[in-house]
Structure 1
Amino acid sequence: MGMFNNMDVGGGVADFWSYIREPRPHRWAIWGVAVALTWVVFHGVSEYLIPYEKPKPQIIYFENWKATRGEAEIRADWVARAKETTRRNAEKRAEYQRFADSMGIEYDSSEADKVTRETLGAEEAAAAKKKPAPSQARSTLAERAARGAPPAPADQPRR
Structure 2
Amino acid sequence: MGMFNKMDVGGGLSDFWAYIREPRPHRWAVWGVALALTWLIFTGVEKYLIPYEKPKEQIIYFENWTADRSAAEIRADWVARAKETTRRNAQKRAEYQRFADSLGIEYDSAEADKVTRETLGEEEAAAAKAKPAPVQTRSTLAERAARGAQPKTAD
TM-score by length of 1: 0.83
Letter in 1 for 2:8: D
The aligned residue for residue 127 of structure 2 is 127
Letter in 1 for 2:150: G
Aligned counterparts, 1:74-113, within 5 A: 74-113=74-113
The aligned residue for residue 153 of structure 1 is none
- Cα offset for 1:35? 1.1
Letter in 1 for 2:28: W
Q: Judge which range, 85-94 or 21-30, deviates more.
A: 21-30
Q: Deviation string for 1:4-33 (max 9, x for gaps)?
A: 343232222111111111111212221111
1:148–1:122 CA distance, 2 compared to 1 (3 A)? farther
- Cα offset for 1:134? 3.2
The aligned residue for residue 16 of structure 2 is 16
Letter in 2 for 1:83: K
The aligned residue for residue 51 of structure 2 is 51
**d(CA) in 2 for partners of 1:48 and 1:110?**
54
The aligned residue for residue 148 of structure 1 is 150
1:68–1:9 CA distance, 2 compared to 1 (3 A)? same
**d(CA) in 2 for partners of 1:146 and 1:73?**
63
1:116–1:148 CA distance, 2 compared to 1 (3 A)? farther
Q: Deviation string for 1:96-151 (max 9, x for gaps)?
A: 1111112211111111011101111111111111122333644244467389399x
**d(CA) in 1 for partners of 2:23 and 2:64?**
76
Q: How many residues align?
A: 150
Letter in 2 for 1:45: V
**d(CA) in 1 for partners of 2:8 and 2:114?**
81
Pairwise CA RMSD of aligned residues? 2.3
User: What are structure 2's unaligned runs of at least 5 residues?
Assistant: none
Q: Which runs of 4+ in 1 moved over 6 A?
A: none
The aligned residue for residue 37 of structure 2 is 37
Indicate the percent of aligned positions where both proteins have the same amino acid.
Answer: 78
Letter in 2 for 1:126: A
